[in-house]
Amino acid sequence: MVIARKVSFGSQSDAGARTREILMTVLLTLKKRCHDFQSRFKHAIDQLAENAHLDPHRLIFKPQFS
């Protein structure tokens, strides 16, 4: 995220800064809760791309029993 922010010259608006802030909070929380947080986040984004009416919070943070 730091590199992305640097090469894109930071957030150009308050809304962009807020979006980046929320995204980092979600990713860091998921990292603490889930061993394979990258796969879980990717799966959630893929599901949202297919159906934008799904609940992002439920997709990202739902308990997974295996």
Q: Is residue 66 part of a domain?
A: no
Average pLDDT over residues 1-20: 70
What is residue 64's three-state secondary structure? coil
pLDDT at 65: 47
Q: For residue 29, what are the domain limits?
A: 2-61
Q: What is the largest CA-CA distance in the chain?
A: 42
pLDDT digits (tens, 9 = 90+) for 39-58: 999 999 999 999 999 999 99
CB 62 within 8 A of CB 40: no
DSSP string, 16-46: HHHHHHHHHHHHHHHHHH-TTHHHHHHHHHH
CB 20 within 8 A of CB 1: yes
Domain tally, the chain: 1
